[in-house]
Structure 1
Amino acid sequence: MVKSLELKTNVNAESLSSEQLITDHIDIWTSAIEQKSSAGRGTSNKFSLYGIKKLRELILELAVRGKLVPQHPNDEPASVLLERIVAEKAQLVKEGKLKKQKPLPEVGEDEKPFELSQGWEWSRLSQTGLGSTGKTPSTKQPIFFEGNIPFIGPGQITPAGIILKSDKFLSESGLGHSSEALPDDIFMVCIGGSIGKAAIVVERSGFNQQINCISPIYIISTYLYFALSTYSFYSSVLEKATGSATPIINRGKWEELLVPIPPLEEQHRIVAKVDELMLLCDALEAQTEASIVAHQTLVETLLNALLLPNTTQQTTTNTSNTLADSLEPAFDNSDASSPEPSLTNSFEKAWLRIAEHFDTLFTTAASIDTLKQTILQLAVMGKLVPQNVNDEPAAKLLERIAAEKAQLIKDGKIKKQKPLVDFEGLGEMKKPLPNSWEWIRLADTADLVRGGSPRPAGDPRFYGGDIPFLKVGDITRKSSKFVEGFNSSITEAGLHKTRLIETRTVLLSNSGATLGIPAICTFPATFNDGVAAFVERSQFIFDEYLYLYLSTLSKWFLDIASRGQGQPNLNTDIIKATWFALPPLEEQYRIVAKVDELMALCDQLKARLSDAQTTQLHLTDAIVEQAL
C-alpha cells in the first residue's frame, strides 16, 4: 500500500527530505490514533485519526514555507507580483470601483514568523486582494429572502473547507443589502468557536457579518486558501482576536495578518503537489478507518461465538476455567502460550481461537470494551466460573425466596405482587442455563420502587438540607459499580415527599437516553423519579451479582423502553417482569469475584494501551516540529 502511494518526482535535496518525511513515516501517521471520551453507549466515532490530521497540517505548513516543491530561479519573484496587485488596485480606485485605502504598515522583521525561500515575500492579507465583511439584510423585509442566491453563515462552512447547502436564499434586492461573494473568493469565519474556518466560494453568494471575505488579485485562490488554512495562520488569528469565551477578530486586524506569497509559477506547483498529497492522505485515512472497522468486526464475531447457547442445558463442568486460565497469561505476557484445553465443546474451541491471537485482537479501546461486555455476558450465562456440585442449587433458593417474600407481605413491609405484564421480546431472554441455575423475575429479587421529587423544585423548605438526594446523573456518571457522590440534598420536610433507601441498595436509571444503567449506593439516600430502587432485596441475592446482571441489560432496557416513544422511559412493570438468571448463592459470589478480577486486568490493558497511544501522539508532534 505505502510503496504504491509513494511519490516519484525530481526535487532538490530540501524538498526531497520533506517528502521522504511524509512517506517514510506512514506507520506513524496511520497508527497515531486519539481516543475520544468513552461516555455513552456504543463504540462508533470514539477515535480520531490524529496522525493523518497532523500530516495534513504538516503538508500545508511545508507548502507555505517553500519546503514542498522546488524553487526555480527563472520564476518571476513574488515582489513583482505584489507590485502588479498594487497597480491593479490603483486602477480600480481611478475608475471609482474601489475606495482609496489607508496605507498599511511595512512588515517588520520581528513580525515575520519564519524565514521564506528565495523569491517569496511576506504580504498583509489585504494586499493580496479586496476584503469585505458580511451583512444580514433586515428580516422585516421578506422580499429580501425570496430569491435563489445562497446566504451563507458560519454553520455552512465546514472544517474541511466545504460550503454546505444553505437553507436561506436572497433576492437581488436582498443581496444589495448584504455582501456579495463570487466564485474563487475566500470566506473565513471571524467570530465564535468556529473562528478560522475557511472555504473557497463556488457560486455567487451573500454572507453574514460573522464572515470576512477576500477576493484575490493575481493570487491563485487555492494557494491563498491553503495559506489561510495552516495552523500558523490560525494561531495568528487567535493572537489578534479579542474575547476569550467568544473570540472575535475585526476586519482591520484580519487584513493586517501576514501571508507568505511565492512566485505565481510556484503557486501552481504548490497547489498541484498539495492536491496530490491530500489524495494520499484520503487514501491512508480510508484504509486506516476500514482497517479499524474490520478489526472491530473480527473481535465482535469471535467474541459472539462464545455467547452462542448450547442446544441442551449445561452440566456442571470446569469449562469456565478455559476462559480465566487463558485470559490471565494473555494479559501478563502477549508471547506466553495459552493453556490448551481439551476441546470438548464449541465454547472451548471458540475461546482457543481468541486466546491464540489475544495480543493482536485486543489492541484498541473498542475491542477491550467489547471484551468487557462479553465477560459480563458469559458471567450471567454460567460460563465464567465452574459450577460446584456441593452448592445449594437455585431451585432450593426459590423456596427460600418465596417464604421470605411471604413474610415481608405478612409484616406489611411490601405489598402483594400484582400479575406481571408481558411484552414483545421478553420470552427471547430465556436461554439455556447450567442445571443448578433457575430463571426467575426481577420482581422476585426485591421490591421495586420508583423515587419521587419534592415539589415545587428548588423550594428551600424541601431542598438544601443534609439528606443526599440522588438524580439520574449520580447513577450514570461513575467509574465503578458504586454511586460516587451526589449533587443535591433535601431537608427533613422533603423526606416525606420522596423515598429513603438503606446502604447497599441497587439502583437503576429509568428515564432519558441513559436509562437502564445500574449502580449500588453505599450510603443512605433519597432519589428522584428518574431512578428505580431494589428495596427489601432478598438475602439470597448478592447485591453485586444483581448489579452485574442489570449491567448486561442496559442496551436491552433502552431498546424496549424506546419502542414507539419520543423520550425513553422505563416503567417499573417492565423491570419487574424481566427475567433474571439465578445461580446458587455461593456461585454468585464466585462470579462477582472473577468478574472483578478480569475487569481489573482489562483496565490494566486499557491503561497500557492509552500510554502507548499517548507516546504515538507525542512522536507525531515531534516529527512535525522537526520538519518545521
Structure 2
Amino acid sequence: MTVETFFANFGHLADAPNGVQKLRELILQLAVQGKLVPQDPEDEPASVLLERIEAEKKKLIAAKEIRTKKIVAINDSPFELPESWAWVPIGSICRDWGQKVPDQQFSYIDVSAIDNEKGVVAEPAVTEAVDAPSRARKLVQLGTVIYSTVRPYLLNIAVIDKEFEPEAIASTAFAIVHPLGGVSSQYIFWFLRSPVFVGYVESKMLGVAYPAINDSQFFSGLFPLPPLKEQKRIVAKVDQLMALCDELEARQQKQQQVRVRLNNAALDGLLTAREPDEFADHWQRICTNFDLLYDHPETITKLRAAILQLAVQGKLVPQDPNDEPASVLLERIRAEKERLVKEGVIKALKKPSSVSAEEMPFKVPTNWTWARLAELTEVITKGSSPKWQGVQYVDEGKGILFITSENVGSFGLRLDKRKYVESSFNEIEPRSILKKGDVLMNIVGASIGRTAVYDIDDVANINQAVCLIRFVGQGSLNFLRYFLTFFNTPTCISYMFDKQVDNPESVRGSFTPLVIASRNDFREPF
C-alpha cells in the first residue's frame, strides 16, 4: 500500500475489524520508516546531529555528569532508511540523571502512575522519605522519556511533560531515556510504541509471570534517527493522525452503542412476541437490518443466546399437531425409570413435586410440558478432588482421563489439555465414572452452566466442579442436543448463577441444582 492510498482510504480502513488499532500501528510504522512525511533535502542530516551528540556526551563525561557506557551495537537493521537518516543504538542518543535514595518528601513515579494511552505521568504518589519503596531510585527531568521494562507489552511509556513538586523519582522498573542534541522526546515516545520496537522487545524479554527486558538489551535496540526538523514534522503528523483515530474510535463506539440498543430492542420484541404475526414482524425487522445489527461480536453473542431461548420456548419452529405430545414421552420415561429401580440398576429417590405455574419462567406450547430434571435422569452427581482422596495426577497412559471444568465447553468437550489421575480414583468414586452420552455441566466459578456431552469412549471421572447428568436410557442424540440447547440458554444459566455456592463441599447440602440434595429444584420444558 502506498502512502497516498493509505491516506485516501483512512476512514475505510478504520471500519475494518480492529481497524483503528491497526491504523495506529500502521501510522507509527510509516513514521519510523521515513514514509509518513516527505524528506526535505535542505534539512541537516542525522550524521551531523550525531556528531553534535557525541561532542555533548564528551563534555558531560569530562564534567563527570555521566559515565561512559558500553553499548553493544546491533548490525542487522530492520529496514532501509532515507539517506538523511541513520540507524543508531537508543543508548547512544540519550543520557540518564543517575539515582538517589530519597532523603525528603518526593513524587514517586511507579508503573501505576502512567496513563499509557496519553503517554503522560497521571498520578505520581507524594511519598515521605521514610516510606520510600526500595525501587524508588531513578531521577528524571523535564523531557525525559520513561519506559517500563517489566511487562513491556503493556506499553507503560511516558514523557515527563512538567516539573513535579516535590522532586520526581521514578521506579527502577523504568529505563530512563533523556534525549541529547535536541532529539525530540515525543519522537522517541512514538518510536518506543511502534511495531518495530515492540517486536524487538518481545524477542528479547525474559521471564514468565513478569517478563522483562534488561537495560543492556533495551539500550542496544536500534533507533531510526531522522534530521531534527523532520522529527518535528513527523511528530506533528503523528499527533494529527492519532487525534483523527481518537475521533474515529469515539464515532465507532457511539455507533456500537446505538447498534446494541437496537439489537436489544429487536431481540426483546422477538422473545416477548405472543402471536405468530407479531413474531414474524419482529423477525422481518431483524432480517432487513441484519448486516447493520450483526457485524460485531457483542451483538452476535446476544443473537446466539436469543436463538437458543426461542428454541426452548417453542418459537423457533412451528408445532405439528400430529406430533406425540411431550406428556406421553414423559410417561414412557417414568415407566423406564421405575423398571430400572425395580431391577436395582438405580436407586429409588423421593418423587419430585410438580412444576407450579409460578415456577414456570415462560409459557410453552400446548403439546409441551414442564418437568423436573430429576424425573428424566438416572443419576445426577458431581465429582471429587484427587487431593481429597489422596490420589495423584499421572502421565497419559498411566491412569484414567480426569475431566475438569476446563474441559467442559459450551456444546462440546475441550480436550486439548487433558489431565490423568491414578486408576484407583474410580474405585474411590464409582458414582462419577463417566459413560458415553453423559451430560457434563460446570457448576462452580465463572464457567458455571457451560454444558457438553461426554461423547468419547475413554474411561474417565470428573472433579468437584463438574456435574454428571445421566438421562434415563441416555436418550437419542437429538434428545441430548435439545437439552444441551436448554442448558446453554440465558434462562438456565441465570438460574445456575442464582443458585450457585462458593464452597464445593457444601454443594450436596442445598443450593446448587443438579446435585444430589437439590436436583428436584431444576425444571425443564420439553
Q: TM-score with structure 2 length normalisation? A: 0.79
Structure 1 counterpart of 2:403, from 448, 464, 470 = 470
Aligned to 1:22: 6
How far apart are residue 455 of structure 1 and its match?
A: 5.1
How far apart are residue 560 of structure 1 and its match?
A: 0.5
Contact 1:505 1:534 in 2 (8 A): yes
Aligned to 1:449: 381
User: Aligned letter for 1:534?
Assistant: I
Aligned to 1:67: 35
Q: Does structure 1 residue 57 correspond to structure 2 residue 25? A: yes
Question: Which deviations, in whole Å up to 9, do the C-alpha atoms of 1:296-355 show, x marking residues without a partner?
Answer: 4433432332211528xxxxxxxxxxxxxxxxxxxxxxxxxxxxxxxx620111112223
User: Aligned letter for 1:576?
Assistant: N
Looking at structure 2, the residues matched to 236 and 462 of structure 1 have their Cα atoms a distance apart, in angstroms, of 39
Looking at structure 1, the residues matched to 131 and 376 of structure 2 have their Cα atoms a distance apart, in angstroms, of 72
Contact 1:65 1:117 in 2 (8 A): no
Aligned to 2:452: 519
User: Could you tell which deviates more after superposition, 467-476 or 215-224?
Assistant: 467-476
How far apart are residue 278 of structure 1 and its match?
A: 0.7
The alpha-carbon distance between structure 1 residues 95 and 372, as it changes in their structure 2 partners (threshold 3 A), is closer
Aligned to 1:529: 464
Looking at structure 1, the residues matched to 239 and 77 of structure 2 have their Cα atoms a distance apart, in angstroms, of 30
The alpha-carbon distance between structure 1 residues 61 and 402, as it changes in their structure 2 partners (threshold 3 A), is closer
How far apart are residue 432 of structure 1 and its match?
A: 1.6
Question: Which deviations, in whole Å up to 9, do the C-alpha atoms of 1:596-617 show, x marking residues without a partner?
Answer: xxxxxxxxxxxxxxxxxxxxxx
Question: Which deviations, in whole Å up to 9, do the C-alpha atoms of 1:205-228 show, x marking residues without a partner?
Answer: 333333210112322211222233
How far apart are residue 490 of structure 1 and its match?
A: 4.2
Contact 2:336 2:472 in 1 (8 A): no
The alpha-carbon distance between structure 1 residues 349 and 178, as it changes in their structure 2 partners (threshold 3 A), is same
Aligned to 1:271: 235
How far apart are residue 484 of structure 1 and its match?
A: 5.5
- Highest relative contact order (Cα 8 Å, sep 6+), 1 or 2? 1
Looking at structure 2, the residues matched to 145 and 488 of structure 1 have their Cα atoms a distance apart, in angstroms, of 57
User: Aligned letter for 1:535?
Assistant: R
Aligned to 1:341: none
**Number of residues of Structure 1 aligned to a counterpart in Structure 2:** 501
Aligned to 2:81: 115
Contact 1:151 1:206 in 2 (8 A): yes
How far apart are residue 556 of structure 1 and its match?
A: 0.9
Aligned to 1:171: 129
Looking at structure 2, the residues matched to 263 and 286 of structure 1 have their Cα atoms a distance apart, in angstroms, of 34
Aligned to 1:36: none
Contact 1:469 1:527 in 2 (8 A): yes
Looking at structure 2, the residues matched to 439 and 347 of structure 1 have their Cα atoms a distance apart, in angstroms, of 23
Looking at structure 2, the residues matched to 454 and 235 of structure 1 have their Cα atoms a distance apart, in angstroms, of 43
Contact 1:453 1:497 in 2 (8 A): no
Aligned to 2:277: 345
Contact 2:372 2:521 in 1 (8 A): yes
Contact 1:519 1:547 in 2 (8 A): yes
How far apart are residue 185 of structure 1 and its match?
A: 0.5
Question: Which deviations, in whole Å up to 9, do the C-alpha atoms of 1:348-367 show, x marking residues without a partner?
Answer: 11112223344554444444
User: Aligned letter for 1:302?
Assistant: A
The alpha-carbon distance between structure 1 residues 226 and 421, as it changes in their structure 2 partners (threshold 3 A), is farther
Q: Does structure 1 residue 560 correspond to structure 2 residue 498? A: yes
The alpha-carbon distance between structure 1 residues 307 and 148, as it changes in their structure 2 partners (threshold 3 A), is same
Aligned to 2:175: 212
Aligned to 2:15: 31
Looking at structure 2, the residues matched to 253 and 545 of structure 1 have their Cα atoms a distance apart, in angstroms, of 57
The alpha-carbon distance between structure 1 residues 266 and 454, as it changes in their structure 2 partners (threshold 3 A), is closer
Looking at structure 2, the residues matched to 53 and 501 of structure 1 have their Cα atoms a distance apart, in angstroms, of 46
CA root-mean-square deviation: 4.2
User: Aligned letter for 1:578?
Assistant: F
Q: Does structure 1 residue 506 correspond to structure 2 residue 474? A: no
Contact 1:441 1:580 in 2 (8 A): yes
Contact 1:152 1:205 in 2 (8 A): no
Structure-to-structure mapping, 1:339-378, within 5 angstroms: 345-378=277-310
Aligned to 1:609: none
How far apart are residue 436 of structure 1 and its match?
A: 1.0
Structure 1 counterpart of 2:481, from 540, 544, 554 = 544
Which sections of structure 1, spanning at least 5 residues, go unmatched?
Answer: 1-16, 34-48, 138-143, 312-343, 583-628
Question: Which deviations, in whole Å up to 9, do the C-alpha atoms of 1:225-253 show, x marking residues without a partner?
Answer: 223332233444456x3758687554345
Looking at structure 2, the residues matched to 458 and 155 of structure 1 have their Cα atoms a distance apart, in angstroms, of 47
Looking at structure 1, the residues matched to 138 and 414 of structure 2 have their Cα atoms a distance apart, in angstroms, of 56
Question: Which deviations, in whole Å up to 9, do the C-alpha atoms of 1:473-504 show, x marking residues without a partner?
Answer: 2223x6x4467585324425642334234331
Looking at structure 2, the residues matched to 455 and 191 of structure 1 have their Cα atoms a distance apart, in angstroms, of 36
How far apart are residue 439 of structure 1 and its match?
A: 1.7
User: Could you tell which deviates more after superposition, 184-193 or 148-157?
Assistant: 148-157
Q: Does structure 1 residue 161 correspond to structure 2 residue 119? A: yes
The alpha-carbon distance between structure 1 residues 383 and 74, as it changes in their structure 2 partners (threshold 3 A), is same
Looking at structure 1, the residues matched to 132 and 387 of structure 2 have their Cα atoms a distance apart, in angstroms, of 51
The alpha-carbon distance between structure 1 residues 436 and 493, as it changes in their structure 2 partners (threshold 3 A), is closer
The alpha-carbon distance between structure 1 residues 21 and 404, as it changes in their structure 2 partners (threshold 3 A), is same
Aligned to 1:187: 146
Looking at structure 1, the residues matched to 146 and 415 of structure 2 have their Cα atoms a distance apart, in angstroms, of 48
User: Could you tell which deviates more after superposition, 216-225 or 250-259?
Assistant: 250-259
Contact 2:399 2:420 in 1 (8 A): no
How far apart are residue 95 of structure 1 and its match?
A: 3.7
The alpha-carbon distance between structure 1 residues 456 and 134, as it changes in their structure 2 partners (threshold 3 A), is farther
